């Protein structure tokens, strides 16, 4: 996932689909972590933070539409 500038360029529908994609990725990573693959811990954290960035951008875009 890119930086904030890249995220803010996406449309709300793209942000929503990216959020769902990251949620699925987090589930897969948690399953890998439960299976004993230690690398998944940092990847879960990164996916969680990326999803938070996407959801924040989505909220900001939705608030802008409400104000207009």
Would you list the DSSP string of 15-50? Answer: HHHHHHHHHHHHHHHHHHHHTT-TTHHHHHHHHHHH
DSSP 42-58: HHHHHHHHHHHHHHHHH
Residue 59 maps to a domain: yes
Q: Evaluate whether residue 46 is within a structural domain.
A: yes
- Could you list the residue range(s) of the whole structural domain that residue 35 is in? 4-63
35 domain-assigned: yes
- pLDDT in the model for residue 20: 96
Contact 47, 25 (CB under 8 A): yes
Q: Is residue 68 part of a domain?
A: no
Look at residue 32 and tell me if it is in a domain: yes
For the cut 50, the answer to whether the pLDDT of residue 68 exceeds it is no
| Residue 65, pLDDT score | 60
Tens of pLDDT along 5-62? 888 888 999 999 999 999 999 999 998 888 887 677 888 999 999 999 999 999 988 8
Query: How many domains does the chain contain in total?
Result: 1
Residue 50 lies in a domain: yes
């Amino acid at each position: 996932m890119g930086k904030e500038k890249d995220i803010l360029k996406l449309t709300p529908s793209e942000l929503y689909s990216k959020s769902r994609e990251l949620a699925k990725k987090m589930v897969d990573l948690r399953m890998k972590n439960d299976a004993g693959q230690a690398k998944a811990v940092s990847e879960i954290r990164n996916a969680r933070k990326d999803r938070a960035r996407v959801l924040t951008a989505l909220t900001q875009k939705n608030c802008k539409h409400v104000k207009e």
